[in-house]
């Protein structure tokens, strides 16, 4: 997982993005087929599939002489190129391997004190969780910009897979809107609406910027509602 400074964390995983195993699926739903011996018509409402989650990766083991902690990478970068802008990851809902939220925040503070210039968060769907994290970070004297990480999900299956290796929760309202969507396009639209609402709230809360996880789907940024929300932030 990106961003935590546990000895089991890969320091190279600070690159922005959700867990590498959290890839989207090609379909969110499966249509219930008609039974040849019961009902004469097929169901017209898609039924959500139970996501098949990938296995957890093995614990990170640094190579001989390698960097064991993310903070080591920050120190190395700043010692060689102090002028490079260096970002690290933060977890609004706590890294799953952290012993506690307080310990997780302490590790983040150490990375910032080592020279990190900004924090990019793990994706989250619960905006209140991010706001609580931001306030706790401020109370811990973390003063660098904290960029919220948002992801416009296209299906419930994708949402579950992308949160399977983190503590990011899927709010019941989002789950309901994704699973009740009559078509894949409707589910994707529900995901966009949720992200737009998050952006609007975060703009009102004065965040310094927004990081969007789009998983190489550049057309996501061209959605009219999302484009309008981003334009409002620049206004």
Q: Backbone phi, then psi, for 6, in 5-degree steps?
A: -70, 150
Q: Is the pLDDT reported for residue 176 higher than 70?
A: yes
Question: How many other CB atoms sit within 10 Å of the CB of residue 25?
Answer: 15
* Least reliable range by pLDDT among 28-37, 50-59, 115-124, 181-190: 28-37
Q: What are phi and psi of 122, to 5 degrees?
A: -60, 155
Phi, psi for residue 87 in degrees, rounded to 5: -110, 150
> 186-207 pLDDT, tens per residue?
999 999 999 999 999 999 999 9
- Region 120-142: mean pLDDT is 97
Q: Considering the entire predicted model, what is its pTM?
A: 0.74
11 or 106, which is more confident? 106
CA nearest neighbour of 167 among 216, 214, 130, 201: 130
β-pairing, 46-48 with 87-90? unpaired
How far apart are the C-alpha atoms of 202 and 155, rounded to whole Å?
23
What does the buried/exposed string (b/e) look like for 222-231 if buried means 16 or more CB atoms within 10 Å of the residue's CB? ebeebeebbe
For residue 59, the surrounding DSSP H or E stretch is: none
Specify the pLDDT at position 167.
Answer: 86
pLDDT band at 24 (very low <50, low <70, confident <90, very high): very low
Residue 52, classed as helix, strand or coil, is coil
Mean pLDDT of 61-79: 89
Distances in whole angstroms, Cα of residue 112 to Cα of each of 29, 43, 70, 135, 209: 42, 54, 11, 16, 18
The chain-wide mean pLDDT, for the chain, equals 79
Q: Which CATH number fits domain 11-18+67-234: 3.20.20.220, 3.60.150.10, 2.120.10.30, 2.60.40.10?
A: 3.20.20.220
Q: How far apart are CA 166 and CA 124, in angstroms?
A: 10
What residue spans define the domains of the chain? 11-18+67-234
Which DSSP string do the residues of 85-99 spell out, in sequence order?
--EEEE-TT--TT-S
């Amino acid at each position: 997982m990106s961003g935590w400074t546990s000895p089991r964390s890969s320091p190279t995983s600070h690159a922005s993005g959700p867990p590498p195993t959290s890839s989207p699926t090609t379909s969110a739903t499966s249509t219930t087929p008609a039974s040849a011996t019961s009902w004469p018509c097929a169901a017209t409402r898609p039924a959500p599939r139970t996501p098949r989650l990938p296995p957890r990766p093995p614990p990170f083991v640094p190579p001989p002489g390698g960097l064991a902690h993310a903070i080591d990478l920050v120190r190395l970068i700043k010692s060689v190129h102090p002028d490079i802008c260096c970002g690290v990851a933060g977890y609004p809902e706590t890294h799953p391997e952290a012993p506690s939220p307080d310990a997780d925040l302490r590790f983040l503070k150490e990375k910032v004190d080592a020279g990190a210039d900004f924090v990019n968060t793990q994706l989250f769907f619960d905006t209140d969780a991010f706001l609580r994290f931001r306030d706790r970070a401020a109370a811990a004297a973390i003063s660098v910009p904290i960029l919220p990480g948002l992801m416009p999900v296209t299906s419930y299956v994708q949402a579950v897979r992308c949160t399977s290796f983190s503590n990011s929760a899927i709010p019941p309202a989002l789950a309901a809107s994704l699973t009740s969507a009559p078509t894949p396009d409707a589910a994707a639209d529900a995901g966009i609406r949720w992200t737009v609402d998050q952006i609007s709230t975060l703009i009102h809360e004065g965040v310094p910027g927004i990081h969007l996880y789009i998983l190489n789907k550049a057309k996501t940024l061209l959605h009219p509602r999302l484009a309008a929300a981003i334009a409002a932030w620049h206004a």
